[in-house]
């Protein structure tokens, strides 16, 4: 799983902008960014890509464990959820 949360490093501590609801313990990577060189749009795009890659990896793991369902069930669920007529 990959979850990205922003934070501030101050006085030897990292202060997160939010606490992850579904994580009780995890290894983390901390990357220090130069504020004068950050393009917020490109940073968000990078985070989105990393989360997409992690999601694809999770999907492959579920597939290997046999945690799949018929595509028809998925299509029906999405049609109901988003009011799409089939």
Residue in the block written with tokens 């669920």: 77
pTM beyond 0.85: no
**CA dist., res. 4 & res. 13, Å (int):** 17
The answer to whether 46 and 6 are in contact (CB under 8 A) is: no
The answer to whether 3 and 11 are in contact (CB under 8 A) is: no
Four-residue CA torsion sign, 59, 63, 25, 23: positive
**Domain-wise residue ranges, the chain:** 39-86
**CA dist., res. 66 & res. 59, Å (int):** 11
Print pLDDT tens along the chain (86 aa).
Answer: 678 888 889 999 999 988 888 888 888 888 888 888 888 898 889 888 988 998 898 899 999 999 988 899 999 999 999 999 87
């Amino acid at each position: 799983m990959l979850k990205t949360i922003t934070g501030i490093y101050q006085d030897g501590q990292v202060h997160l902008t939010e606490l992850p609801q579904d994580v009780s313990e995890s290894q983390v990577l901390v990357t220090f960014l130069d504020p004068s060189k950050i393009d917020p749009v490109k940073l968000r795009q990078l985070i989105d890509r990393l989360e997409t890659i992690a999601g694809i990896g999770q999907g492959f793991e579920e597939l290997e464990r046999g945690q799949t369902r018929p595509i028809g069930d998925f299509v029906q669920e999405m049609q109901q959820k988003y009011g799409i007529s089939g």
